[in-house]
Amino acid sequence: MKHIPSIQRSSSQHQKLAALRQAHQDWNNAPDVLTRLTRRLSTTLSLENQLGILAEELGAIVPFDSFNYRHRIARRDFVFATGMGGPHRCEYRLNLEGASFGTLTLHRRKKFSEEELQGVEMIISAAICPLRNACQYIAIEQAALTDSLTGIPNKRAMDEALERAGQLADRHHQDYSLILCDLDHFKAVNDKHGHVVGDHLLQLAAEAVERALRTSDSVYRFGGEEFAVLLPHTSDENAKDVGDRIRKAVSGLEIDCGGTRLSITASCGVALHSEGESPEQWLARADEALYRAKSQGRDCTRVFPTIN
């Protein structure tokens, strides 16, 4: 008699597991579009892949000529587009629990019917949670690669970018230049005016450097008061011009410190990527050029001699 409860529990557990297996099989084999959509979306956290799945499943129910998604995630614009547009469109702002997760726009040559619009809304309602998760995943990834003070990419992001840039430069035999930019006498600013003023100046400097660049260029906070700028398809001669432009932008900054105006200058070191060199070697040459700028009076740009 003592063993009967154990046997009953075992039998009950077996039934539950069998029911679970059946439910999982039914879920995997369900023919309806909503189950299939959520099942497919659950297989990836890539927002781009999810949007491709959504466009495919949606197009099978409500034909469209173009599918466009736009969202700003962690200070960066994410855009996904497929197809060519038409004169008629429907647009949906994707919101969940008070938060926005982008805008989805469909275009086509023929006007959408009310029944079709209802179908689109039902499909979006099934996709919104996976899309939110993918957006949050990107935000978390970007946070790990972003400097918390200035909002620009950090040294970890720079290391990854230098690795990629070096590989592309070698593979395609293209010019990639690196600038290291250091704010002159920044320690004196902190010592005299405090770290609150120093932090504010770093934020303004990061914004000024970004404004001085092309959209294809990228800036990173290398550490302390030092910034790194990566310039694709740019010779060291042209990179020197960019360095001078950065210095001009930084020198134009002013902060009101209780009746006195605080300004600062910057020094820049430039190095063109040399074929086959490692990111560490490339960075060391830019740092050497920066050291020369510092030792030769500051507020200037120096270029490391090309060694190709």
Tokens encoding 127: 């996709």
- Asked if 57 is an active-site residue, the reply is no
Is 69 within 8 Å of 79 (Cβ atoms)?
Answer: yes
Tokens encoding 228: 């790194």
Alpha helices in the chain (DSSP H): 4-29, 33-41, 47-61, 114-144, 155-172, 186-193, 195-211, 236-251, 279-295
Tell the residue number behind the tokens 């990419």, with chain if given.
Answer: 153
| Three-class DSSP labels, 62-127 | CCCCEEEEEEEECCEEEEEEEECCCCEEEEEEEEECCEEEEEEEEEECCCCCHHHHHHHHHHHHHH
The identity of residue 238, as a single letter, is N
**Which member of 225, 237, 275, 277 is catalytic?**
225
Catalytic residues: 225
